[in-house]
Amino acid sequence: MKITCNREQLLTAFQTAATVAPARSPKPILRNVKLEVTGEGATLMATDMEVGIRIEVDGIEVQTPGSVLLPVSQFGSILRETNDQELQIVADTQGTTVSGSRSEFKLSGESPDEFPNVAAFEAEVYHEVPARLFKELVRRTLFATDAESSRYALGGVLLEMTADKIIAVATDGRRLAKMEGPAQSVGEHDSADTMTIVPSRAMQLIERALSDSDAEIKVATRANDILVHSQRATVFSRLVDGRFPKWREVFPDRQVSTKFEVAVGPLYSAVRQAAIVSSEESRGVDFTFGEGNLVMAGLTAEVGQSRVELPIPYTGEPITVTLDHRFVADFLKVLDGEKTVTVDIQSGEAAALFLTDDGYGYVVMPLARDK
């Protein structure tokens, strides 16, 4: 194999692929990224046998087609540290030579034929999802997952896809995030009745692999895995094994509650101020909704106390609910500060519900108040 490549373009793609390659593995060959070059283009591939990625690379001039295994650590360092705009890569049975105008590196390597296959997207039944929407699905739900849970399959995001919609849900048992938006089924693809729980790590990889130029992506789910395909990348992942909680039962369907709108920026600022006196042992902040005002009060014996007021359009009876300030902040920081959210509260013992006008909902369970 012999190619000339644009260093920066290869670096960007290589860094994304390298996040999949395990730092330690009983299979040393997995600590490489495979570069496959044909007359039609160049593709980087990486896998840890649970998650895999294929990325098309631009800026490569092919002199001789072929394939090579590139060690993540050494080759990644070469791409980062050299200053050449173009690099030449030559690979044969003796090893790999990477050379620039004033540098040359020789790397030993394993046979690319031994590298595991990384699935390509060949599905005829799938969903078409706007790429921008999918990135928002990830940003607005991923933080609510729980990788440590052993009771439920909470270490991933549940995807439900129907004829014209996609819903993403994540929970750690104490809060729940749900985002939905339009999506189009192709070939009657439907995952609403299956447990399509995508591991958190795979969701992060999908978001990273999507570029701003992607208009739509294709999402195909099967019994045990999922494939997501964009213009330049395909991500494969095995699904989380287990059952996801019945999230619709967690999402309150209230007949009687108090709702009002508040701007994200001022609320986020007030929450951060109230949390200044919190600690790892004392994370609860009292949210008191009164006549035209929200008072946030924090108290930690060894640190001190805080009291922050925020005007709100609330006219009901005073309600005080104690919430983990981190959970409220996690929700607010993934939103535009200019946006408004609807706050839905019922009592000090009921979950607080936050809603936006673009399909995003968030439930936070209350903490027990100190007497």
pLDDT digits (tens, 9 = 90+) for 147-193: 887 767 899 999 999 999 999 999 999 999 999 999 999 999 988 77
- Comparing CA positions, the residue from 217, 239, 216 lying closest to residue 226 is 239
The predicted pLDDT at position 192 comes to 72
Q: How far is CA 251 from the centre of its chain?
A: 22
Buried b (16+ CB within 10 A) or exposed e, 114-151: ebeebbebebeebbbbbbebbbbbbebbbbbbbeeeee
The per-residue pLDDT for range 295-323, each reduced to its tens digit, is 999 888 788 999 999 999 998 889 999 99
pLDDT in tens, 180-215: 999 999 999 988 778 899 999 999 999 999 987 789
The answer to whether residue 280 scores a pLDDT higher than 90 is no
Closest CA to 165 of 179, 176, 153, 177: 179
Please give the share of the chain, as a percent, with pLDDT higher than 70.
Answer: 99
- Band the pLDDT of 282: cuts 50, 70, 90: confident
What's the token pair of residue 116?
A: 């595991």
CA 118 to chain centre: 21
If you write DSSP's letter for every residue of 277-342 in order, what string do you get?
Answer: G--SS--EEEEEEETTEEEEEEEETTTEEEEEEEE----SS-EEEEEEHHHHHHHHTTS-TT-EEE
Torsion angles phi and psi, residue 264, rounded to 5:
-65, -50
The pLDDT tens digits for 232-261 are 999 999 999 989 999 999 887 777 778 899
**For residue 360, pLDDT beyond 50:** yes
**Separation of CA 256 from chain center:** 35
Give the model's pLDDT for residue 250. 86
Segment 264-281 mean pLDDT = 92
Query: pLDDT tens across 25-83, in order?
Result: 889 999 999 999 998 899 999 999 999 999 999 999 999 999 999 999 999 999 999 99
- Partners of residue 55 on adjacent β-strands: 44, 233
In whole angstroms, what is the distance from residue 198 CA to residue 16 CA?
18
Kindly give, in sequence order, each residue whose CB lies less than 8 Å from that of residue 149, ignoring residues fewer than 6 positions away.
155, 172, 173
pLDDT of residue 118 exceeding 50? yes
Q: Is this prediction's pTM over 0.85?
A: yes
Instruction: Return the sign of the alpha-carbon dihedral for residues 333, 204, 234, 89.
Output: positive
370 — pLDDT class (breaks 50, 70, 90): low
> What residue has token string 């508040």?
262
Q: Tens of pLDDT along 133-144? A: 999 999 999 999
pLDDT tier, 369 (very low <50, low <70, confident <90, very high otherwise): low
Cα angle 303-307-309, degrees, rounded to a multiple of 5:
155
| Residue 250, number of CB atoms within 10 A of its CB | 16
Residue 371 is predicted with a pLDDT of 44
* pLDDT higher than threshold 90 for residue 278: no
Query: What is the mean predicted confidence (pLDDT) over 275-302?
Result: 88
Tokens, residue 349: 């013992």
Which residue type, as a one-letter code, is found at position 28? P
Q: Model confidence at 279, in pLDDT bands (50, 70, 90)?
A: confident
Helix, strand, coil content of the chain in percent (nearest 5): 20, 40, 40
pLDDT > 90: what percent of the chain? 81
**Structural domains in the chain?**
2-114 (3.10.150.10), 126-248 (3.10.150.10), 253-364 (3.10.150.10)
